[in-house]
Structure 1
Amino acid sequence: MHGPDLVGWMLVALCGGVGAACLWRLRDGPPERRRAAAGEAPMGLGMAVMAVPTSALEPPPPQLFAALFGVVAGYELALAASGSGHRSHHLHHAVGALAMVHMALGMAAPSPTGAHGHHTAASLDATGPTGAVTAVLLAYFAVYVLRTGVRPVPAGSPVGGTVGGTAGGGTPWPPEMAAACRSAMGLGMFTMLLVM
């Protein structure tokens, strides 16, 4: 990822931590919650890999990210169309995967100076098609983070209880953990779009 190295490493830590937490949530709990975690884990880990500063490591080809997350977007859209699980949840995952495709294609496109990937000024210029897509995605993730962050935990949900299942080995998994992971991933996506 281009942009300040500190921001890149903070995104790596945030998204990698969220991806790892989602993998941990896969170990136990109701099937519906495990399916949700299975959709969120690759997104968090993929975002972490994509956020690694280019000064530290040569990133994988952007086309690889575009192809991978294109498949994820198609899968999530198929699940939403089939009516399995929560339709809005699948649609949100599809939007996130398409945002990753958009960022990967932005990294692959040559800039006016002939270098690849650094489009901060062009991305935020909403007059072109790329800038307009970026602006729409920024607005979507800003609203998503604010909406998810202020949504209260249902009344009567025990903070340390087993509403969200158990985190392997019988350790209680707090019900607000999934919402916190989603908020963190939305914030990470917003930041990545902002600095792409």
Structure 2
Amino acid sequence: MSLPASVSAWLLVLLCAVSGAYCLGRVRRAGGAAAGEAVMGFGMALMAVPLRQHGDGWQTTALGLVFCAAALHALWLLRRGAHHVHHLVGSLTMVYMAVAAGYGSGHGGGLPALTGVLLLYYAGYVVLGGARLITTGATTGPALRHASGAWSGSAELTRACRLAMGMGMLAMLLAM
């Protein structure tokens, strides 16, 4: 039995918003990478809202501009390490989906070959991220809450957050 499209869309919005909120909470400790992930999570949540119709001018333009800025930020962060390549790919993917949503009514959901390549990338990212999360969780145990209120195992939560956003991206690409 499958969920109605609007319910699954709202679950995706919730998943992305919670991931964005968690990343926003990490900004003080992790800096630029966490800020980029927070923008990505909240942007994905906005893009997944099922009430928005294709071709809504200002929303498509606003999201496109936000993700263009995020891509430039990821490009700037590339000088710190290769991990930011994923942020760049994610930001550019969101720009692509915003453009495809803006022009998609009557023209399909983007370029099939590019969508296919992005689907392969995110499927690999999700499988690899899930495998890493499982093997890390097996060696370090579950995250526990201390009396201070802080989570131990925050590395696992960060990986789970990234995995959730990767799955969200995969779901949005599949919906194109």
Q: Do Structure 1 and Structure 2 share a fold, with TM-score over 0.5? A: yes
| Structure 1 position 95, deviation (Å) | 0.4
Higher gyration radius (CA): 1
Find the partner of 1:132 among 113, 116, 121.
Answer: 113
Which has a greater percent of helix? Answer: 2
Q: Distance in 2 between matches of 1:20 and 1:138?
A: 25
2:42 is the alignment partner of 1:48: no
Kept in 1: contact 2:17–2:45 (CA 8 A): yes
Moved over 2 A (4+): 33-36, 58-61, 110-113, 154-162
| Structure 1 position 23, deviation (Å) | 1.3
Equivalent pairs counted in the alignment come to 167
Letter in 2 for 1:54: L
Unaligned 5+ segments in structure 1 are: 114-118, 124-129
Match of 2:162 in 1: 182
Kept in 1: contact 2:137–2:156 (CA 8 A): no
Match of 1:116 in 2: none
Letter in 1 for 2:18: G
Match of 1:74 in 2: 72
Letter in 2 for 1:6: V
Match of 2:11 in 1: 10
Letter in 2 for 1:184: A
2:123 is the alignment partner of 1:142: yes
TM-score (norm 1): 0.74
RMSD of aligned C-alpha atoms? Answer: 2.7
Match of 1:90 in 2: 84
| Structure 1 position 182, deviation (Å) | 0.6
Match of 1:64 in 2: 62
Letter in 2 for 1:98: L
TM-score (norm 2): 0.82
| Structure 1 position 37, deviation (Å) | 1.6
